[in-house]
Amino acid sequence: MSDAKEKLAPFLTMALERGVDHARIIETPSIITAPWVRLKCQFGCFGYGRGLCCPPYTPTPEGMRGILDSYSHAILLHRHWQKGYAVLDEFNELVVDIEKALFLDGYYKAWGMGSGPCRRCKKCDPTGSCLHADRSRPSMEACGIDAFATAREHDLPIQVLRTHKEERDIFGVVLVE
């Protein structure tokens, strides 16, 4: 772990310089998946089936567990989001930028997940191909990751929102080995 920490430190700096509150190198077993996460997408979210970065087009929790287990480490990112979708978009851009920077540095398996549904196009057509496949990434939750349990596993703040106006904490993760 200390070797990974040293080698990946520049990518943490990159994240912190671009506005995240926390950037941590973690081991992938501490990223928690659960079967119920899919239910929350399927029953209760307007986005189910409407976008290529949402279920059922994303990995199932079981599939995601297998993917996570094929990596040793990840960079977990957290940002406290106060107002406006610009912060969310900026955060999700950062996830992809870190993934790409890792890839170009030789970490050929690097792959990232952001927060919330993809908002790149006004309307997503799930019967077609992605219009921005190089930059669109699903969220952690869309891939069956329990973001609450994962954040709390790493002593990061997260809470249930009671209104859409409340301040919130958003998370992303970039898998790396």
Give the residues lining the site for ligand SF4 (CB under 6 A).
51-53, 118, 120-121, 124, 130-132, 136
Taking the least distance from each CB to ligand SF4, the nearer of 53 and 68 is 53
d(CA 127, CA 45): 19
User: Please, what is the minimum distance in Å from the beta carbon of residue 94 to ligand SF4?
Assistant: 17
- Given a contact cutoff of 8 angstroms between Cβ atoms, the answer to whether 61 and 111 are in contact is no
User: Please, what is the minimum distance in Å from the beta carbon of residue 122 to ligand SF4?
Assistant: 8
User: Please, what is the minimum distance in Å from the beta carbon of residue 79 to ligand SF4?
Assistant: 20
Taking the least distance from each CB to ligand SF4, the nearer of 124 and 151 is 124
Taking the least distance from each CB to ligand SF4, the nearer of 57 and 148 is 57
Helix (H, G, I), strand (E, B) or coil at 24: strand
Q: Please name the amino acid found at residue 79.
A: R
Q: Please name the amino acid found at residue 27.
A: E
